[in-house]
Amino acid sequence: MAESGRRRDRGRVDHTWNDGRDPAATVDDVSFVRALLEELRATLVIHPQRLYATGFSNGAMFTHRLGVEMGDTFAALGPVSGTVAKTIAETATPARPVPVIMFHGTDDAMAPWHGGQALLGEAVAVPDTVDWWVARNQCGRRSKYEWLPNTHPARTTPACGKRPMPPRRQPGR
């Protein structure tokens, strides 16, 4: 699904999802997703209980917003490297409990584990996001964290200021 983007200063489109961090954002990406799903339902066979939302980084934060505003539409959420926006966490409650599985690293400057100011606005810490969903979903116990070791320290991106990733294997080799 292509992101719709929102207008920023001087009329540029910044190609980000409106995840709820910017109260001045006027693009309604939630309505865009609703309209897209209606179009897909009209042309494809879609099982209504097997729709899932996922996204990475800003898309993950938007996934949390979709879970709040369209929780009755999705079977579950799977955000990767993104927490719930502070503005959403402070004001919103999903219409129903929504299953969520989150994946997040501890050394992510774009979506900090401990929350705080990120590129497009303030984000909630990862543990607080988990606790927020636990409370909203009325879970009887704290969710499970599983810490996985970094078994491939050479597999980092150049953007992190570390060694580049090794070349990918060519198909058929």
The whole model's pTM is what? 0.79
Q: Scanning the structure block, which residue is given the tokens 């990918």?
A: 168
Among 7, 121, 103, which residue's Cα sits nearest to residue 63? 103
Q: What's the domain range around 84?
A: 50-160
The band of 142, judged by pLDDT with boundaries at 50, 70 and 90, is low
15 domain residue, yes or no? no
62 domain residue, yes or no? yes
22 domain residue, yes or no? no
pLDDT digits (tens, 9 = 90+) for 55-84: 999 999 999 999 999 999 999 999 999 999
Query: What is the total count of domains within the chain?
Result: 1
169 domain residue, yes or no? no
Strands (E), 81-156: 116-118, 121-123
